[in-house]
Structure 1
Amino acid sequence: MADFSFHHGGVSVPSLDEAITWYGDVLGFELEKRFYIEAARSHTAMVRKGPLRFELFEVEGAACLPEDRRHPPRDLQTHGNKHVAFQVDDLESFLTEMEQKGADVAFVVREAFGNGCFIRDCAGNLIEFVEEANP
Structure 2
Amino acid sequence: MTDFRFHHGGVSVPSLAEAIEWYDRVLGFKVEREFRIAAAKSRTAMLRKGPLRFEIFEVENADPLPADRSHPARDLATHGNKHIAFCVEDLDAFLLEMTERRADVAMVVREPFGTGCFIRDCAGNLIEFVEEDAT
TM-score over 0.5 for the pair: yes
1:54, 1:111 → 2: CA distance? 28
- Extract unaligned runs of 5+ from structure 1: none
Shift of 1:113: 2.0
Amino acid across the alignment from 1:46: M
Deviations 1:92-127 (A, max 9, x none): 000000001100000000012221000000000000
1:1-80 equivalent positions in 2, closer than 5 A: 1-80=1-80
The equivalent residue for 1:101 is 101
Shift of 1:132: 1.9
2:114, 2:67 → 1: CA distance? 27
Runs of 4+ in 1 over 6 A off after TM superposition: none
Percent identity between matched residues is: 71
Shift of 1:134: 3.7
Q: TM-score, normalised by structure 2?
A: 0.98
The equivalent residue for 1:123 is 123
1:114, 1:12 → 2: CA distance? 28
Deviations 1:36-79 (A, max 9, x none): 00000000000000000000000000011000001001000000
2:88, 2:113 → 1: CA distance? 15
2:14, 2:76 → 1: CA distance? 23
Cα root mean square deviation, aligned: 0.6
